[in-house]
C-alpha cells in the first residue's frame, strides 16, 4: 500500500517505491489503472527518478499503450501494462474474479487476527519487535481489509453489465479492484499461453490407416 503518509503521497515518490519493489521482486509486468488519478502515476513512471540513496532509477514504459509508446523513452524498461476498464470490461473483470474465487482457484491468506495469534504462539514471534511484527502481519492485514471491501460491495445489473456498488460509501474498493485487475491479467496471460501452445501443436498430423487382412 503506497502513499500512506503525506511524504509518500506524491506520484514521484510512489513511482520510486514501485520501481524499488520491481528491483526486489523482478515482476513480469506492472499493471497500472490508467483511468482518472492513475494517469498521474503513469506519467511519472515513464520518467527517471532518484531514490533516497542517490541512485538513478530508469524510466519504465508501457508495452500495450500506443499513446505512451509515442512519448516514453526508447530505452525504457517495457514492463508496464495499461488498464483502461470501461463498463463492459469491468463487468467481465468482476465476473472473472467471482468465478475464480468460487471455483477455488484462489487461496487467500488467513485473517490478521488468526495470523497474530499464530505468530504470538511461537517463540520467534514473541521475540519480534513491534515493527518486525507489524511488517510480518502486513500481508494479512491488507488481505483482511480487502475482504472487508468485498463484503461491502453488492452486485447490480445494468443492462448486460454487472456493476458493483458500495453498501457503505465510506469504504473504498481499491484493494479489491487491484485484486480483480490482477486476476484478469492472469487470465489474459493464461489464454495467450494456451493459444501459443495450440499453435505450436497445430501442425497437421499424418494419419495411417490399416485394413484387416491375413
Integer Cα distance of 2 and 15 in angstroms: 10
13 to each of 41, 124, 150, 211, how far by Cα in Å? 10, 34, 29, 74
User: Which DSSP state fits 151?
Assistant: H
The residues that bridge with 31 in the sheet, in sequence order, are 81
Distance of CA 205 to the CA centre of its chain: 40
With beta carbons less than 8 A apart as the criterion, state whether 9 and 159 touch.
no
pTM above 0.75, yes or no: yes
User: Which tens digits make up the pLDDT trace of 82-132?
Assistant: 999 988 999 999 999 999 999 999 999 999 999 999 999 999 999 999 999
Distance of CA 68 to the CA centre of its chain: 20
- Report the share of the chain in percent with pLDDT over 70: 94
Integer Cα distance of 19 and 25 in angstroms: 10
- Of 28, 34, 69, 62, nearest in space to 189 by CA: 28
Integer Cα distance of 29 and 185 in angstroms: 10
Amino acid at each position: 500500500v503506497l502513499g500512506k503518509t503525506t511524504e509518500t503521497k506524491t506520484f514521484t515518490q510512489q513511482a520510486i517505491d514501485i520501481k524499488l519493489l520491481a528491483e526486489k521482486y523482478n515482476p513480469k509486468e506492472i499493471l497500472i489503472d490508467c483511468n482518472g488519478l492513475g494517469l498521474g502515476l503513469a506519467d511519472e513512471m515513464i520518467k527517471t527518478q532518484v531514490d533516497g540513496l542517490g541512485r538513478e532509477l530508469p524510466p519504465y514504459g508501457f508495452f500495450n499503450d500506443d499513446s505512451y509508446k509515442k512519448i516514453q523513452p526508447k530505452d525504457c524498461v517495457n514492463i508496464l501494462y495499461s488498464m483502461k476498464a470501461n463498463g463492459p470490461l469491468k463487468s467481465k473483470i468482476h465476473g472473472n474474479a467471482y468465478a475464480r474465487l468460487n471455483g477455488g482457484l484462489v487461496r487467500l491468506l488467513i485473517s490478521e487476527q488468526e495470523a497474530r495469534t499464530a505468530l504470538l504462539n511461537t517463540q520467534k514471534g514473541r521475540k519480534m519487535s513491534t515493527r518486525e511484527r507489524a511488517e510480518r502481519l502486513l500481508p494479512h492485514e491488507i488481505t483482511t481489509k480487502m475482504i472487508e471491501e468485498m463484503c461491502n460491495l453488492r452486485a447490480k445489473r445494468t443492462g448486460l453489465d454487472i456493476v458493483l456498488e458500495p453498501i457503505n460509501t465510506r469504504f473504498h474498493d481499491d484493494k479489491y479492484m487491484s485484486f480483480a485487475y490482477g486476476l484478469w491479467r492472469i487470465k489474459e496471460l493464461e489464454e495467450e499461453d494456451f493459444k501459443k501452445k495450440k499453435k505450436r501443436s497445430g501442425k497437421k498430423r499424418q494419419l495411417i490407416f490399416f485394413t484387416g487382412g491375413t
